[in-house]
Structure 1
Amino acid sequence: MIRRRLYVEERMSRLAVWSLRLAVFALPVTLIGIACYATEVFDLESALYTVLAGVALAGLALLVALAAFVVIWNEGLRGLGRVIGAGALALALIAPTAGLAAFGARLPVLHEVSTDMEDPPAFVTLAMARSRAANPLDGPDEAAASVQADAYPAIRPIDFESTPDDVFGDLMALVARRKWTVIDVVPPRGGQRDGRIEAVTRGLPLGLREDIVIRVRRTAEGTRVDMRSVTRNAARDFGSNARRVDDLFAELAERQGKRRR
């Protein structure tokens, strides 16, 4: 009985065993990076390194699984189930990262979007609350403004014939429905001053923290709304800021009975 047990164990592919071990170990490493960033235990850089370490382990597991498959095919060893499990788990970890990289390669490298490039809406409360390591709030430079104009030509101010207070009320309702964390609110008081809403949310696909400021300004024709959305701790936003501005303005125009051009 002892000899037979040893024989069975020797016929199991060691590469198959290790491919599954590596794939299983890669899963918690990757999830730890994501969870620690979501709960703000890690900063973005530390979280990215952790996630990439998990993906690298998954890549190694996939290579070992391929080698194990060749050995099993040639020598008739056991372990095909482990190879399949390791390969499936490794691909499940690698595919989203590869897809995100491919998706990001098609988008401009921007970390903020503003409807007004020359006089962007100003952060007041959030400017004091953000850490020094966060992206600056000086506004887009000429290069970034040019990139935004080419990539997102529809991101521009929107004008209404309604009063500033009416538009501001609709904006507050839309912000509440999106469950953004509101940091500061300054009503326009009938257009006597610029209305301002400052809020924080997280953008897809990475859950990056993004800061938002909306300005409501009285004009001769009625009211103009500007919006600025800034990713706090990353060099690129994967298009989330532009999507946020476009979605909010589209719904605001619908509530105000205005067709966006």
Structure 2
Amino acid sequence: MHRRLVFEEPVSRAALWSRRLAWFSLAVLLLSVLVFRAGEPSLQGLAPIAGAYGFVLLALILSVLAFIRIWQSGHRGVGMAAQAFALALLLLAPAGYVGFKLVTLPALNDISTDIDDPPAFSRSRVALDARKSRVPPDVSPELRRAQRQAYPKTLPIVLEVPAEMAFDIARRAALNRGWQVLESARPGGRSGAGRIEAVARTRLLRFSDDITIRVRPRADGSRIDIRSASRLGTHDLGANAARIAAFAEEVELLVETR
């Protein structure tokens, strides 16, 4: 009785290494994010994350090369290459989203519902300590007009309730959004306006953004203006406008349920 020898095609080395590199990229990316979250947020701290994406790109390129080699030589490893390709694309999705925002949105990092008279940030000791002595700078009229074109729905919140009640609603909305309220002053005094200072932190990378809310009385109720400014970078990727929109929705919900 003769045995029949079966020769299997070898496994593509490119496919094998593309899968290894893809999983290594995932581990490096997760570790980089955890290290960034544990420290003080800075643009320099993003370097390891950017480096991790270099590995992701290399894994993607290697998986494509593996597909080509397998097609040409008939080697095994399609599943490995496909796994690496899918994982690399999944990891690149956030970077693609950031790139899309950079291209489609103007470079703004300070958004206000009042572009003519934006609420001023407090310079109290409590507020300055929370902001590391930083006061968001004034924004030029040109950038404020660019904001209006990019985010036309970012408008003042007008309520048919007294300013005292609007202040309570605004403060509750800020807390419901998970913001850290630093200090607040009820409407009254010489200006008649109320003020709330807060800090919001992004979910993934824990960037700190500064918020000031102004509540003014009107003849027919009250008006709430909010300004949100990023501490790092010149482009907020639309985060501040989205934060203001979420705050406005929270205020509307509280008004409807009171």
Change (3 A) 1:42 1:36: farther
Q: Tell me how far 1:163 sits from its aligned partner.
A: 2.2
Equivalent position of 1:157 in the other structure: 156
Matched to 1:198, the amino acid is: E
Equivalent pair of 2:41/2:206 in contact (CA under 8 Å): no
Change (3 A) 1:64 1:251: closer
After superposition, give the CA deviation of every residue in 1:200-243 in whole Å (9 maximum; x if it has no partner): 11347865322111011234544322110111112212222112
Classify the secondary structure of the residue corresponding to 1:244. helix
Partner Cα separation in structure 1 for residue 167 and residue 57 of structure 2: 51
Equivalent position of 1:107 in the other structure: 105
After superposition, give the CA deviation of every residue in 1:15-60 in whole Å (9 maximum; x if it has no partner): 222212221221122222322333335523322x222222221111
Change (3 A) 1:143 1:37: farther
Equivalent position of 1:46 in the other structure: 45
Q: Tell me how far 1:189 sits from its aligned partner.
A: 4.9
Written as runs of structure 1 = structure 2, the 5 A alignment for 1:239-250 is 239-250=238-249
RMSD: 2.8
Written as runs of structure 1 = structure 2, the 5 A alignment for 1:59-208 is 59-124=57-122, 125-131=126-132, 137-189=136-188, 193-203=192-202, 208=207
After superposition, give the CA deviation of every residue in 1:135-164 in whole Å (9 maximum; x if it has no partner): x51221122111112112332333344322
Partner Cα separation in structure 2 for residue 208 and residue 202 of structure 1: 5
Change (3 A) 1:129 1:177: closer
Classify the secondary structure of the residue corresponding to 2:215. strand
Classify the secondary structure of the residue corresponding to 1:101. helix
Change (3 A) 1:161 1:15: closer
Partner Cα separation in structure 1 for residue 35 and residue 68 of structure 2: 38
Equivalent position of 1:26 in the other structure: 25
Equivalent position of 2:4 in the other structure: none
Q: TM-score, normalised by structure 1?
A: 0.81
Classify the secondary structure of the residue corresponding to 1:82. helix
Partner Cα separation in structure 2 for residue 39 and residue 161 of structure 1: 44
Number of residue pairs matched? 247
Change (3 A) 1:143 1:206: farther
Q: Tell me how far 1:113 sits from its aligned partner.
A: 0.6
Equivalent pair of 2:173/2:254 in contact (CA under 8 Å): no
Equivalent position of 1:223 in the other structure: 222
Partner Cα separation in structure 2 for residue 252 and residue 95 of structure 1: 32
Change (3 A) 1:93 1:65: same
Q: TM-score, normalised by structure 2?
A: 0.82
Equivalent pair of 1:36/1:42 in contact (CA under 8 Å): no
Matched to 2:43, the amino acid is: L
Matched to 1:98, the amino acid is: G
Equivalent position of 2:232 in the other structure: 233
After superposition, give the CA deviation of every residue in 1:88-137 in whole Å (9 maximum; x if it has no partner): 221111233113312442222110111223432122243443236x6x51
Moved more, 243-252 or 103-112: 243-252
Equivalent pair of 1:32/1:50 in contact (CA under 8 Å): no
Equivalent pair of 1:231/1:237 in contact (CA under 8 Å): yes
Partner Cα separation in structure 1 for residue 44 and residue 212 of structure 2: 25
Gap regions ≥5 residues in structure 2: 1-6
Equivalent pair of 1:117/1:139 in contact (CA under 8 Å): no
Partner Cα separation in structure 1 for residue 120 and residue 160 of structure 2: 24
Change (3 A) 1:190 1:24: same
Partner Cα separation in structure 1 for residue 255 and residue 111 of structure 2: 23
Q: Tell me how far 1:187 sits from its aligned partner.
A: 1.9
Matched to 1:24, the amino acid is: W
Change (3 A) 1:80 1:250: closer
Q: Give % identity.
A: 35
After superposition, give the CA deviation of every residue in 1:54-103 in whole Å (9 maximum; x if it has no partner): 22211111211222222223223333332222212211112331133124
Equivalent position of 1:252 in the other structure: 251
Change (3 A) 1:210 1:75: same
